[in-house]
């Protein structure tokens, strides 16, 4: 019985690590957001203010999968896969319908 539990835990861990979104880091995503996005996305800048709260998790997924910042594709191409993963994690963690919507910054 104990052994079965151990196998289960190991498999869960492996699955978690293998899943890109779970392995991604929200904290790093936030850093990327500040560095790469906020230049154009603060109040009064050309892209207007954006925050994770602006969209639901489904909408963010859609944006990352389909839109990929069509207005300025270069912005997106510049990012590494890992940066995009972390960024998505950050947006999902603080999205409108997340457990902990971003209330500041
Ligand atoms: C060079 C300037 C620039 C940079 C850098 C930039 N954006 Fe944008 N972004 C824009 C502009 C311009 C728009 C279009 C705004 C509009 O439609 O009013 C836009 C639109 C968006 C939208 C759509 C807003 C909506 O209402 O759906 C999202 C989301 C977005 N950007 C995310 C990002 C993210 C994430 C980054 C960082 C990886 C980023 N942007 C970096 C200029 C920029």
pLDDT in tens, 20-65: 555 789 999 999 999 999 999 999 999 999 999 999 999 999 999 9
Task: Take residue 27 and report the two structure tokens written for it.
Answer: 């904290």
Alpha carbon of 38 to ligand 1 centroid (Å): 9
Residue 84 token pair: 């995009």
- What gap in Å lies between CA 42 and CA 38, rounded to an integer? 6
Q: Is the CB of 74 under 6 A from ligand 1?
A: no
Mean pLDDT taken over the chain:
91
97 contact partners, CB below 8 Å, separation of at least 6: 56, 57
Model confidence at 19, pLDDT cuts 50, 70, 90, reads: low
Nearest CA to ligand 1 atom 22: 69
Q: Which residues contact 42 (CB under 8 A, 6 or more apart)?
A: 49
Q: Could you tell me if the CB of 53 is within 6 A of ligand 1?
A: no
48: Cα separation from own chain's centroid: 19
Q: What is the pLDDT of residue 37?
A: 97
Cβ distance 26 to 89 under 8 Å? yes
Q: Count the residues in the chain.
A: 105
Identify the pLDDT of residue 9. Answer: 85
């Amino acid at each position: 019985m104990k052994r079965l539990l151990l196998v289960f835990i190991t498999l869960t861990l492996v699955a978690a690590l293998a899943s890109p979104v779970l392995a991604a880091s929200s904290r790093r995503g936030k850093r990327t957001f500040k560095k790469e996005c906020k230049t154009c996305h603060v109040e009064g800048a050309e892209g207007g203010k954006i925050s994770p709260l602006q969209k639901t998790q489904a909408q963010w997924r859609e944006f990352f999968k389909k839109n990929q910042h069509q207005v300025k594709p270069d912005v997106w191409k510049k990012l590494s896969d890992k940066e995009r993963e972390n960024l998505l994690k950050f947006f999902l963690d603080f999205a409108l319908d997340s457990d902990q919507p971003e209330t500041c910054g």
